[in-house]
Structure 1
C-alpha cells in the first residue's frame, strides 16, 4: 500500500512526504492566497503523468537496448469550466535527442507505457482525453496507439 503524509506549514502551503522521506512542497494559486512556495496540486498531477510515462518509456527502451542522450517531456492540461475543475484534455510531448533512436521503437514503448504499465495514465484517462506525440532530434512524429487491428 502506498502512503504519503501531508503537513500544513501555514497559510496555504503544504508539504507532502513519501515513505522514503522525500518532500514535495505544494501551495495554492495566488487567487486562494498562495505565495508561490510550492507546486500547485493539479500541476503536480500533470508532473505525475509525465514522470510515470517517462519512467516506463525509458525502462522499456532500455530493455530494447535503445539509448538516447536526452529526454524532455512537456505536459499541458486544459481544465473544464465547472467544478470540480478536472482536466478535460491533456497533451503529452516526448522530446528525444540521440544518434540512434528509431521512431517505431519509441512508439511501441509509448504504447506499452500508456496502455499497460503507467498507472497514472490509466487512472487519468478515465476522466481526461490524453493525446501523445513525440519528437526525435526535432522531427515530430504522430503517436499511433495500439489497436486491435495493429
Structure 2
C-alpha cells in the first residue's frame, strides 16, 4: 500500500476505492477507528465462517465495540471489547462459545495485537 499526503491527512488508492486517513475526522477515518474496525470485522468474519462450517444458520450479526484508551501513553489502545449480537435459528450457546474461541485463535488481526491490546468478547443470541 502507498499513502500520499493530502490536506489534513493521507490517501491510499486501493482496489475497492480511496481510503482517507487522518487524525481529524473531517478529513478521513481516524487510525484508531481503522484498527478497531480491522479487529472487529476480521474476528466477526472468521466467526461467521466457523458457524457456517458447523452448519449453523446465522441470519444476521452485529458487533458492538467498546474501546479503552490510555491518555497518559499517547492515547494508546488498551482494551477492545467485542459484543456479538447473533441472529439465527437453533444456535446452541455452547457451539457459539466454541466457535468464538476458534475465531480468536484464527483471526490474524486479533493475533497481531494479542500481546499489546486486551481483546475480550461476549455474545447474545436473538431469534
**TM-score, structure 2 normalization:** 0.88
**Structure 1 residues 40 and 118: CA distance shift in structure 2, 3 A:** same
* Partner residue of 2:21 out of 13, 23, 26: 26
For the 8 Å contact 1:46–1:76, the answer to whether it is kept is no
Deviation at 1:21, TM superposition (A): 4.8
- 2:125 maps to 1:132: no
- How many Å separate the matches in 2 of 1:125 and 1:84? 19
**More strand per residue:** 2
- The two structures have a TM-score, normalised by structure 1, of 0.76
Aligned residues: 127
What is the DSSP-based 3-state SS (H/G/I as helix, E as strand, rest coil) of the residue aligned with 2:51? helix
User: Counterpart of 1:68 in 2: which secondary structure?
Assistant: strand
What's the counterpart of residue 91 of structure 2?
A: 101
Q: CA RMSD in A?
A: 1.8
Partner deviation per Cα, 1:17-54 (whole Å, 9 max, x = no partner): 44x354322222xxxxx352321111110000001101
Give structure 1 stretches of 5+ with no counterpart: 29-33, 139-150
Give 1:15's aligned residue.
11
Find the aligned partners of 1:82 and 1:120 in 2 and give their Cα distance.
25
Structure 2 residue ranges without an equivalent (≥5): none
Higher relative contact order (CA 8 A, sep 6+): 2
Structure holding more helix per residue: 2
Q: 1:132 to 1:84 in 2, by over 3 A?
A: same
